[in-house]
Structure 1
Amino acid sequence: MLDRTVLDRFGAHLSGELGRSPHTVRGYLADLRSLQRFLADSGPTSDTSVGTDAGRGGPDPDTETSDARGYGFEHLDVLLVRGWLARSRDEGISRASLSRRVAAVRALTRFLHREGVLETDPGPRLVAPTQQRGLPTVLNEEQAASALAQGPAETPVDLRRRAVVELLYATGVRVAELCALDLGDVDRARDTVRVLGKGAKERTVPVGAPALDALDAWLAGGRPELATSASGAALLLGARGGRLGVRQAREDVHALLRAAGVDSGPHGLRHSAATHLLNGGADLRSVQEFLGHASPRSTQIYTHVSVERLRDTYRQAHPRA
């Protein structure tokens, strides 16, 4: 089995059987191509060989399953993966990216073991680095109001930017989830949006009047100007009429926020939406569902601002503060 065929089949497994998002599949495959290059450079004839070839069953250069210079995926073991992770760390890869690389390798080795390519699965022996989770950057309510109160939108791009920022703040969706929305996902009768999140999990999110107004303006005066035969049912469109890409959506957000003097991006709007909900009295479970988090642990990071607000209120109101 050629390594490039392995990655093709693994990518299909991730998206088809496991329901991983296109963003996750691209990230995993990019990581595994890095691992593939490391393996090719780490064979018994390479200067960067990891450990010795004894007991590892070195590659046969006459077979198509391995690079003639090094190892292939069928030679994966804990030592090789740790060597790759060590090199990644030396290259300055962040803890979050290292954790994703571990997750990608675990998924691959589980797949290869199931396919009979690996006799044993080394994945469970791999330990992801502990992530140092910082507090999210959050706009205060005045900053959010300033960012959303820009001048009149005159061009299709202006209308799209306004709709993108309003929807991100109103719904707290991830930018990739926003770009994946279709026209039919907007329910004007109930003022909700149907969102397909991580793991192909669907959720319904309410949308406020300002965001719906911005969306209506885009649909009336922006989308028709950009639409082509390639547009399909995509809610948001790029300059050539295709579905709006994540990179362009990020640029839209940064452009609008910079104009308002706010240094933030799409994830900052998501953080802000969650924090403002908590500040307004929403319970953690509701915010968890709103954000599409599988576990409340992922949502708890948003509570820090609410705790600060509670502390201020306590100091002002409690007689023994």
Structure 2
Amino acid sequence: MDFLPAVSEPSPALDVTAAPSVKLRGTPPANSPTALVELLRDAGAAPAVLEATHAWLMRRESDHSRVAYSKDGSWWLAWCAASGTNPARARAIDADQYATALRDSNLAKSTRGRRLAVASAWYEYLVRADVAERNPFAGMDRPSVSADDSPTRGMTSAQLAQMLTYARQNETARTYALLVTLATTAGRIGSVLAATVGAIGHDEGHRVIDLVVKGGNKKRVVLVPLAVDALEAYLAERDQADADEWLFATRTGRPMDEPAAFRLVQRVAKAAGVPHHDALSPHSLRHSYATALLDDGVPLADVQDAMGHADPRTTRRYDRGRGLHRSPSYKMNEKLTKAMHAAEDA
């Protein structure tokens, strides 16, 4: 097959360092299905593409999933706009360059893989709906995430307590309530931020909160007294908040977004004196929940249920993460130290 043009034309110089100037982390370009469709409309997408995209999003099981797909999909559209790529005519090389840009943004492998998977799923649907000819992400190698280790940095129970104590004494009631809720429910940040005031309730004598989890299902989790006290103090400041209002709302009444929560965790951890504050995220509190319970001898199956893991191997990742604390190297250190003292005394 001849890959050269039929007519000889001057070839432009290839600038291998050229890359579109677009920020691929932080606040997503779109945070709802409506905003994603608006991005497409601004890009000049045909009405049939807009209709198909809306249908693709509405197939998701929950509002939470539809928002998550919209956020992840919007990064591809932002990259296309910055690079001058028409999404309708995107090639495999464009998709690969986008994947490279995600990698160069120092995003976690899981985040990069999820964004690429969402973009690919969108094109698969457009092809199925006969509004696109191909999926430029088909057959792409995606970042492999280890099934044995969690890349999330956690905290010891003492560090987590240090952070929460600081927040209770120095931060707003909302900040403290959010951190305590994350630390005591093992809720994913997206689920906690998607909760409404009405999600808090009672069940069989327990205070509970209903969180939307993967698959669009609701999971009822216990609110321990530490979280109940924090939430009640926070809601008292809001003065008669309606049941359908977002639990962790901004001043404008909108829900706090995940980038804001990410910045909040690192800021409070730094102020509290946690040494690796710049490596923490909201997921670090979920990670710390699992490792603290496993350290205290809570059965793996019970931790698995609390974390909402369908596969026990996922929970085992947190169990293996405790290896730093129980490393036999500490025993070796103790043994050598005693032997060296004995040698000095001889």
Q: Same fold (TM over 0.5)?
A: yes
Q: 2:185 aligns with which of 162, 171, 177?
A: 171
Give 1:134 deviation, angstroms: 5.5
Q: Does 1:31 align with 2:67?
A: no
Q: Which residue of 1 aligns with 2:288?
A: 272
Hey, what does 1:116 align to over in structure 2? Answer: 130
Larger deviation: 166-175 or 238-247?
Answer: 238-247
Change (3 A) 1:95 1:162: closer
SS in structure 2 at match of 1:150: helix
- Answer yes or no: is 1:130 the counterpart of 2:133: no
1:170-249 to structure 2, matched below 5 A, reads 170-188=184-202, 189-220=205-236, 222-224=237-239, 232-249=244-261
TM-superposed CA distance for 1:238, in Å, is: 1.8
Post-superposition offset of 1:184: 1.9
1:140 to 151, 156, 165: 156
1:17 to 40, 50, 59: 59
Residue 149 of structure 1: SS of its match in structure 2?
Answer: helix
Q: Return the letter of the residue paired with 2:73.
A: Y
Alpha carbons of structure 1 residues 302 and 245: separation in structure 2 relative to 1, 3 Å: same
How far apart in 2 are the matches of 1:12 and 1:29?
13
Task: Determine the C-alpha separation between the residues in 1 that align with 2:92 and 2:254.
Answer: 43
Cα offset, 1:195, TM superposition: 0.5
Output the CA distance in 2 between the equivalents of 1:90 and 1:276.
32
Where does residue 336 of structure 2 map in the other structure?
none
Q: Once the 2 structures are TM-superposed, how far is the Cα of residue 12 of structure 1 from its aligned partner?
A: 2.6
1:111, distance to aligned residue in structure 2 (A): 0.6
Please give the per-residue CA displacement for 1:45-98, whole angstroms capped at 9, x wherever unaligned.
xxxxxxxxxxxxxxxxxxxxxxxxxx552x455455335445x36855646254
Letter in 2 for 1:159: A
CA contact (8 A) 1:194 1:204 kept: yes
Whole-angstrom distance in 2 between the partners of 1:81 and 1:152: 46
SS in 1 for 2:166: coil
Report how many aligned residue pairs link the two structures.
277
Q: Distance in 2 between matches of 1:218 and 1:202?
A: 24
Gaps of 5+ in 2: 1-40, 333-346
In the superposition, relative to structure 1, how do residues 315 and 173 fare at CA in structure 2: closer, same or farther (>3 Å)? same
Q: Does residue 81 of structure 1 match 2:95?
A: yes
